[in-house]
Each structure stands twice: as C-alpha cells, then as structure tokens.
C-alpha cells in the first residue's frame, strides 16, 4: 500500500469497514465456537473457568498520537489486557476490540492499528471474536476486553498473600515511565521549534518499554512448568508502590521492601540520571511496566533463584508492621501510592 493513499472511512461505511478490518483473521482456539459476524460471539472453555477483564485507552490520557505509531498502539491495547489475564495465572484465549474515532482517521490508519492488534493476537494465541465500531467527535477511544481460561479454582487473587511470603517482580520496572518522560520532553522541544528533530539516540530500550510492552506469558508458563502457584498476584500498570499497597490491603498484611532489590535496567538508570530523576522513584511510582508482582511461599525460593527474570524485592509482614521501604542507606520509610491515577494530574 502506498504511503500517501488515503481512503475515507465513509467510502466503506461502518459494515464495510468492519468486514475490511476483520476478514483476513482466522480463529485458532477450540474454545472459539462463534466469532465476528453475528449478534454475539460464543465461547466454550470445556470445563475450565473463564477469566474476563477490560481496559479503556483514551487519546490524550493513555496515549499521545504525536509519538505513538498506530501499529504499536494496537499492539499495546491488546498487551495491557492480556497482562491482566496472566496476572490471574490464566491463559488468554479471546479478545474483543471496540473503537471510536473521528473523520481525521483513514482506512489506512485503522489498518495499521489492526496490524498491531493481529501481531499481538498471533504472538499470544488469542482470537479476535468481536467488538464495536463507532465515531467520536474528538479523539481516538479504544476499549479491549480479554477472555481467558484457567483450571477450576487455579486462578490467583490479590487477597491471598500470607505473612512471611516473598514478594517478587518479573523483568524490570521504571523503564516505561522514563520512555514517557523522554517522549514528552522531545514533543515539547519539537512544538517549540519544529526544525529540531527528536533525539532518541541510544534510548531504544525505554522507548520500547513505553510503546511495546510485553505481557508476561513466559512467567505464567514458568510457574506451570515448575509447579509454582503464587499466593497472590497482580500486574504492574500503575507503579510498583501502588500495586504493593493493593496486595497488602487486600491480604490484610504489611510488607518490607528493599531499595537495593528493585530490578532497574541499566538503560533506565542512565536515562533517569540524564533527566535528573531518581531511578528508585521511577521504579516505584512510574507506571505501565506491565510486569507481574506476586508473592510466593518461602519454600518456593529455590525454584525461582535460577530464573533471572524474577527478582525478590521483599516479604509480607503482619498488618501492624505497616508497609515499609528500606533505602540503600538503611533508612526506613512508609510506602505511599504515588503511582499513576487517571484522576490526579
Ligand atoms: N466502571 C466500573 N464498573 C465496574 N467495575 C469496575 C469499573 N472500573 C473498574 N472496575 C473493576 O474494579 C477492579 C479494579 O480495576 P482497575 O482498573 O483498578 O484494575 P486494573 O484493570 O488491574 O488496573 P489498570 O486499569 O491500571 O490496568 C476490577 O475488578 C475492575 O473490573
Ligand atoms: C499521553 C500519556 N499520558 C500519560 C501516560 C501514562 N499512563 C497512561 S496509562 C497509565 C497506567 C495505567 O492506566 P489505567 O489504570 O487507566 O489502565 C500510565 C502511567 C501515557 N502513557 N501517555
Ligand atoms: Mg482497569
């Protein structure tokens, strides 16, 4: 397709557009009984339990199209939802995708967005089984619902951590927030002086963390292969400190977290220093890492030491102990939720 082609959505109409966007996608899961094209889809998880989650992505709140390629946005919209399914220790099987957009969007633009959606679906073995398409006066609005399956009662909640359990985080944290800080800085520079080209040299890692997060399917597979069932789990969307407080509150426990144990990527640490930010604050309060945070029984410690993708950052305590953070210097502070909150600017 030529770069300059612009097909108006009105030339296809709503139904023509839906047909255009979905016609080449085949379903792969046995659980997908009926897909796009009827009043509703039908799924059958054959005796397993069904897990369901939904998340909205709103232009200007969750993403900025000035620096977010549509293909990446499609991919990320799926990933943030799959991340919630994995956070239940479940396997995603289907998604629905609903979109609303203004006439500033062309058929080619939506094609790009759907390319990203399909790449994410293929990577995670998920079927797109429906959605809704509408127009919006201003801004691009995306709502994705993800459905998954889990063996009966094998899902992992936020509220079931026990005193003494180890608190673990997958991958590394803080990178996406630094990617966002970089993109917002470059955007500001560009708006002030459009002749200046963005300087993203050497920053691929943090930009990648923001624009193409990976839902941690591998961690759930590692649990299954090693007979590990976390005692509680959630994904890191709003920031580690905010998520730890959710686990503690819902499990009626306190915790001790150690600064020196926080997994921070070298590229993120370097970027933080460049921007005059504290990497620890970015790791605790930056959002959108889409890593998993979970608790494990202490006897499972040996099983995870060999997995370099899992860091133990602390342990659960009695509720009376409170939620505490110990700095590298040995000082102890109460943990406060300074993570992302859509209603606090
Ligand atoms: N408008 C709503 N109506 C009903 N339930 C809601 C609504 N908004 C959120 N919830 C429910 O509240 C709970 C917490 O939702 P929340 O969005 O905070 O978590 P999350 O989706 O894991 O986080 P994030 O949105 O940051 O990824 C979930 O059970 C969710 O289904
Ligand atoms: C333009 C722009 N503004 C802000 C952010 C940061 N941000 C968006 S969503 C989110 C956490 C999860 O949100 P939710 O809880 O709503 O799912 C964070 C930290 C961004 N990426 N782009
Ligand atoms: Mg949510």
- Looking at the structure of the chain, the number of domains it has is 2
According to the annotation, is 266 in a ligand binding site? no
Evaluate whether residue 215 is within a structural domain.
yes
Dump the DSSP string for 191-202: HH-TTSPP--TT
Q: Check whether residue 181 and residue 124 sit in a common domain.
A: no
Residues 131 and 183 in one domain: no
Q: Which two tokens stand for residue 289?
A: 């890492």
Residue 316 pLDDT: 98
Closest CA to 180 of 313, 294, 76: 76
Task: Report the DSSP beta bridge partners of residue 55.
Answer: 144
Report the pLDDT value the prediction gives residue 4, as an integer from 0 to 100. Answer: 76
Residues 177, 107, single domain; the answer is no
- What is the ipTM for the molecules in this complex? 0.92
| Ligand 2: residue whose CA is nearest its atom 7 | 62
> CATH number for the domain including 95?
3.30.1330.10
Are 132 and 178 within one domain? no
Say if ligand 1 is within 6 A of residue 55 CB. yes
143 and 179 together in one domain: no
For residue 118, give Cα distances in angstroms to 57, 74, 123: 17, 8, 8
Query: Do 89 and 130 fall within a single domain?
Result: yes
What is the C-alpha separation between 171 and 176, in angstroms, rounded?
12
**55 alpha carbon – ligand 3 mean position (Å):** 5
318 marked as binding residue: no
Predicted local distance difference test score (pLDDT) of residue 134? 96
Nearest ligand for residue 210 CA? 2
Three-state helix/strand/coil letters over 129-152: EEEEEEECCCCCEEEEEEEEEECC
At residue 241, the pLDDT reads 96
Contact 114, 18 (CB under 8 A): no
pLDDT in tens, the chain (345 residues): 556 789 999 999 999 999 999 999 999 999 999 999 999 999 999 999 999 999 999 999 999 999 999 999 999 999 999 999 999 999 999 999 999 999 899 999 999 999 999 999 999 999 999 999 999 999 999 999 999 999 998 999 999 999 999 999 999 999 999 999 999 999 999 999 988 888 888 899 999 999 999 999 999 999 999 999 999 999 999 999 999 999 999 999 999 999 999 999 999 999 999 999 999 999 999 999 999 999 999 999 999 998 999 999 999 999 999 999 999 999 999 999 877 877 775
Q: Which atom of ligand 1 is nearest to the CA of 235?
A: 22
Q: Which atom of ligand 2 is nearest to the CA of 341?
A: 15
Do residues 287 and 321 share a domain? yes
- Cβ-proximal residues to 293 (8 Å cutoff; 6+ apart), any chain: 167, 168, 169, 170, 233, 234, 235, 236, 240, 243, 244, 247
Alpha carbon 125 to chain centroid distance? 17
Please tell me the number of the ligand nearest to residue 215's CA.
1
Is 288 known as a binding-site position? yes
CA-based nearest residue to 282, from 178, 209, 189:
178
CA 146 – ligand 3 centroid, Å: 12
Question: Is 235 assigned to a binding site?
Answer: yes
Q: Among 80, 159, 237, which residue has the most ligand 1 atoms within 8 Å of its CB, making it the best to mutate? A: 237
State the pLDDT at residue 50. Answer: 98
Q: Which ligand is nearest to the CA of 234?
A: 1
What pLDDT score does 338 carry?
79
pLDDT for residue 260: 98
Centre of ligand 1 to C-alpha 108, Å, is 32
| Residue 26, pLDDT score | 92
Give a yes or no: residue 339 inside a domain: no
pLDDT given at position 306:
85
- Residues 138, 214, single domain; the answer is no
Determine contact, residues 57/145, Cβ cutoff 8 Å: no
Q: Based on the domain organization, do 203 and 302 belong to the same domain?
A: yes
User: 1: CA distance to ligand 3 center in Å?
Assistant: 36
Tell me if 210 is assigned to some domain: yes
User: At 288, which CATH number?
Assistant: 3.90.650.10
Ligand nearest to the CA of 62: 2
Cα of 290 vs centre of ligand 2, distance in Å, is 11
Q: Among 123, 150, 177, where does a domain finish?
A: 150
> Ligand 1: which residue has its CA nearest to atom 27?
237
Domain that holds residue 183: 166-334
Flag whether 254 is in a domain.
yes
Q: Atom 16 in ligand 2: which residue has the minimum CA distance?
A: 342
Token pair 């479940």: residue:
90
């Amino acid at each position: 397709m030529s770069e300059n082609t612009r097909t108006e959505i009105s030339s296809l109409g709503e139904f023509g557009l839906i047909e255009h966007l979905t016609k080449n996608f085949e379903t792969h899961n046995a659980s997908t009984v009926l897909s796009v094209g009827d009043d509703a889809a039908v799924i059958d998880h054959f005796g397993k339990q069904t897990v369901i989650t939904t998340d909205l992505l709103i232009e200007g709140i969750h993403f900025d199209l000035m620096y977010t390629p549509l293909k990446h946005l499609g991919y990320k919209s799926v990933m943030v939802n799959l991340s919630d399914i994995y956070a239940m220790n479940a396997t995603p099987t289907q998604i629905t995708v609903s979109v609303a957009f203004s006439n500033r969007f062309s058929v080619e633009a939506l094609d790009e967005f759907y390319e990203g959606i399909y790449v994410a679906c293929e990577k995670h073995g998920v079927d797109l089984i429906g959605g809704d398409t509408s127009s919006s006066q201003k801004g691009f609005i995306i709502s994705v619902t993800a459905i998954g399956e889990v063996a009966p009662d094998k899902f992992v909640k936020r509220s079931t951590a026990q005193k003494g359990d180890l608190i673990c985080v997958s991958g590394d944290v803080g990178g996406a927030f630094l990617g966002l800080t970089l993109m917002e800085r470059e955007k500001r520079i560009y708006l002030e002086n459009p002749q200046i080209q963005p300087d993203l040299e050497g920053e691929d890692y943090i930009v990648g963390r923001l624009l193409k997060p990976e839902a941690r399917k591998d961690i759930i597979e590692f649990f299954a292969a090693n007979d590990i069932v976390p005692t509680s789990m959630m994904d890191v969307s709003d920031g580690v400190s905010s998520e730890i407080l959710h686990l503690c509150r819902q499990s009626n426990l306190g915790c001790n977290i150690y600064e020196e144990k926080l997994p921070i990527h070298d590229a993120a640490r370097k970027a933080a220093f460049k921007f005059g930010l504290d990497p620890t604050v970015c790791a605790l309060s930056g959002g959108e890492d889409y890593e998993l945070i979970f608790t494990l029984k202490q006897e499972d410690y040996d099983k995870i030491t060999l997995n370099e993708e899992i860091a133990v950052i602390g342990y659960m305590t009695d509720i009376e102990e409170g939620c505490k953070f110990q700095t590298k210097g040995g000082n102890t502070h109460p943990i406060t939720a300074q993570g992302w909150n859509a209603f606090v600017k």
